């Protein structure tokens, strides 16, 4: 009834091709942004901001990275965790070598390093695909994980091999380190995520995104149409790793705040992000957010939510249930809706459009 486009006329091609062609969508996105940027920082508890919202945004960004290569280009990658790690270590090295440059610049720049490494490990994708490529990216995962531990230069030769996130400021407000409040870190992170999402949306709706999708749907056919596969696939890997790298950097700097970095980027992290993409929806930006939200919130509700409303479940039971639920959800979504939550959201929108008189 309210979600209707009647009366909204598109007079130009550009208007028709807009990312949000319907007014209500534009209002919706504005409301979401206001809630995220104003309401949540003002009303959310510290726990909500630091343990729900910050991880959610970090994982959304990482899922976006993986979705570019897996969802849009159809190349499975199991090395997401490692590419995130490259970003985190690059950012750490950069900010310790050049402490005077603003940390946000380094967070974004660290993506370049992981893009380069991602492209290098994407080289085999020209000859192989499917499961074979998955194994190739596993090589990247394990090799890089090993480097994070074995190359002391990366963690500045600290005795324990852990990295320390130093305090860095923006306009004299601490945004990293222990003195940065969760709200500040959240707002910086939100800014980065919104910017990166906007860029990704533009890239993926444009020529480059279409190239990726052509390669995904059938690479030989794409080649016949004049798409050069090597640059396209490498571009996908580089772009994907760029996003993952930035996600890793923000994860270390704005969320974790240092510590056992190599461990944070292990293979389980890669799987976790893959699950987010599958559940959220392959080849959908909104799916990244939905998947990250679901996989992030389910365990927290199981662990903290149930006890809070009086249902006592043991902490280990919650952990086991979490495994069961995540696994079950993956199978459920693949069977019922292989395009994930994003597709469900689309269906809902479609239904809303014709409600209450569906045809």
Partner 1 sequence: MKRHLTVAALAATTLASLALPAQAQDSVYVPLLTYRTGPFAGSGVHIANGMRDYLEMLNQRDGGIGGAKITIEECETGYDTKKGVECYESMKGKNPVVVNPYSTGITLQLIPKAAVDKIPVLSMAYGLSASADGGNFPWVFNPPATYWDGASVFVKHVAAVEGGLEKLKGKTLGLMHLDAPFGKEPIPVLEALAKKYGFTLKLYPVPAAQMQNQGSQWLAIRRDRVDWIYNQGWGAMNPTAVKEAVKAGFPIDKLVGVWWAGGDDDARAGEAAAKGYKTLNFHNTGNSFPVMQDILKHVFDKNLSQAKREQVGENLYNRGVYNSMLIAEAVRTAQKITGKKAVTGEDVRRGFEALNITDARLKEMGMEGFANSVKLACNDHNGHNKVFVSQWDGSKYVKASDWMDPMKEIVRPLIEQEAKDYVAKDAGWPKRTAPCEKGA
Partner 2 sequence: MDILQSIFVTPFLDMAGAPDLLVQTLWEGLVSGVLYALIALGFVLIFKASGVFNFAQGIMVVFAALTLVGLHEKGVPAWLAVILTLGVMYLLALTVERFVLRPLVNQPDIILFMATFGLTYVLIGVGEFIFGGEPKQMIAEQLFIPRGAIDVKMLGGRVTFQKIDIAAAVIASVMIAALAAFFQYTRIGRALRAVADSHKAALSVGISLNQIWAIVWFAAGIVALITGIMWGARSEVSFGLDIIALKALPVLILGGFTSIPGAIVGGLIIGVGEKVAEFYWGPLVGGGIESWIAYVIALGFLMFRPQGLFGDKIIERI
211/119 Cα distance (integer angstroms)? 17
Instruction: Note every long-range contact of 217-220, with CB atoms under 8 Å and residues 24 or more positions apart, other chains counting.
Output: 217/74, 219/74, 219/129
Q: How far is the CB of 252 from partner 2 (least distance, A)?
A: 22
What are phi and psi for residue 286, nearest 5 degrees? -65, -30
- The closest of 59, 64, 60, 53 to 243, measured between CA atoms, is 64
Q: Which does 105 bind (CB under 5 to 8 A by kind): partner 1, partner 2, none?
A: none
- Which burial class, exposed, middle or buried, applies to 335 when counting CB atoms under 10 A from its CB (0-12, 13-18, 19+)? exposed
Q: How far is the CB of 54 from partner 2 (least distance, A)?
A: 24
Q: Decide: 106 and 224 in contact? Cβ < 8 Å.
A: no
Contacts to partner 2 from residues 125-144, by CB under 8 A: 127-128, 130-132, 134-136, 138-139, 142-143
Nearer to partner 2, 158 or 202 (CB): 158
Q: Decide: 250 and 189 in contact? Cβ < 8 Å.
A: yes
Should residue 341 be labelled a site residue for partner 2 when binding is judged by CB under 8 A?
no
Size of the site for partner 1 (CB under 8 A): 67
Q: Which of 220, 309, 311, 312 binds partner 2 (CB under 8 A)?
A: 220
Nearer to partner 2, 49 or 279 (CB): 279
Q: Which does 304 bind (CB under 5 to 8 A by kind): partner 2, partner 1, none?
A: partner 1
244/114 Cα distance (integer angstroms)? 8
Q: Which of 167, 315, 317, 354 binds partner 2 (CB under 8 A)?
A: 317
- Which burial class, exposed, middle or buried, applies to 314 when counting CB atoms under 10 A from its CB (0-12, 13-18, 19+)? exposed
Nearer to partner 1, 39 or 334 (CB): 39
Should residue 320 be labelled a site residue for partner 2 when binding is judged by CB under 8 A?
yes
The separation between the first and the last C-alpha atoms of the chain, rounded to the nearest angstrom, is 14
What are phi and psi for residue 163, nearest 5 degrees? -105, 150
Should residue 351 be labelled a site residue for partner 2 when binding is judged by CB under 8 A?
no
Nearer to partner 1, 39 or 128 (CB): 39
Should residue 311 be labelled a site residue for partner 1 when binding is judged by CB under 8 A?
no
Binding site for partner 2 (CB under 8 A): 74, 76, 124, 127-128, 130-132, 134-136, 138-139, 142-143, 145-146, 149-150, 218, 220-221, 224, 267, 271, 274-275, 278, 316-317, 319-331, 334-335, 338
């Amino acid at each position: 009834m309210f979600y209707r486009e009647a009366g909204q006329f598109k007079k130009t091609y550009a208007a028709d091709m807009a990312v949000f062609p319907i007014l209500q969508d534009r209002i919706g996105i504005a409301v979401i942004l206001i809630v995220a940027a104003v309401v949540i920082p003002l009303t959310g508890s510290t726990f909500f901001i630091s343990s729900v919202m910050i991880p959610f945004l970090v994982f959304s960004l990482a899922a976006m990275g993986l979705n570019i290569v897996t969802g849009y280009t159809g190349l499975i990658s199991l090395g997401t965790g490692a590419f995130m790690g490259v970003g985190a270590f690059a950012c750490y090295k950069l900010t310790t070598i050049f402490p005077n440059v603003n940390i946000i610049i380094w967070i974004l720049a660290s993506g370049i390093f992981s893009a380069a490494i991602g492209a290098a490990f994407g080289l085999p994708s020209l000859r192989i695909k499917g499961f074979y490529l998955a194994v190739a990216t596993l090589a990247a995962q394990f090799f890089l994980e090993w480097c994070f531990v074995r190359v002391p230069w990366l963690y500045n030769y600290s005795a324990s091999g852990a990295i320390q996130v130093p305090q860095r400021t923006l306009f004299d407000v601490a945004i990293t380190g222990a003195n940065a409040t969760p709200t500040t870190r959240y707002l910086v992170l939100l800014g980065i995520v919104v910017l990166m999402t906007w860029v990704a949306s533009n890239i993926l709706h444009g020529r480059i995104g279409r190239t990726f999708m052509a390669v995904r749907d059938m690479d030989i056919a794409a080649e016949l149409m004049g798409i050069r596969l090597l640059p396209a696939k490498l571009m996908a890997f580089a772009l994907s790793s760029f996003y993952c790298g930035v996600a890793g950097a923000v994860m270390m700097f704005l969320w974790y705040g240092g510590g056992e970095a190599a461990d944070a980027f292990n293979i389980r992290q890669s799987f976790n992000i893959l699950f987010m993409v599958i559940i959220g929806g392959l080849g959908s930006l909104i799916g990244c957010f939905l998947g990250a939200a679901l996989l992030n919130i389910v365990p927290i509700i199981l662990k903290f939510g149930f006890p809070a409303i009086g249902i006592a479940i043991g902490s280990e039971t919650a952990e086991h249930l979490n495994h069961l639920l995540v696994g079950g959800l993956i199978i459920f979504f693949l069977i019922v809706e292989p395009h994930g939550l994003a597709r469900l959201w689309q269906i809902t929108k479609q239904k809303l459009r014709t409600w209450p008189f569906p045809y």
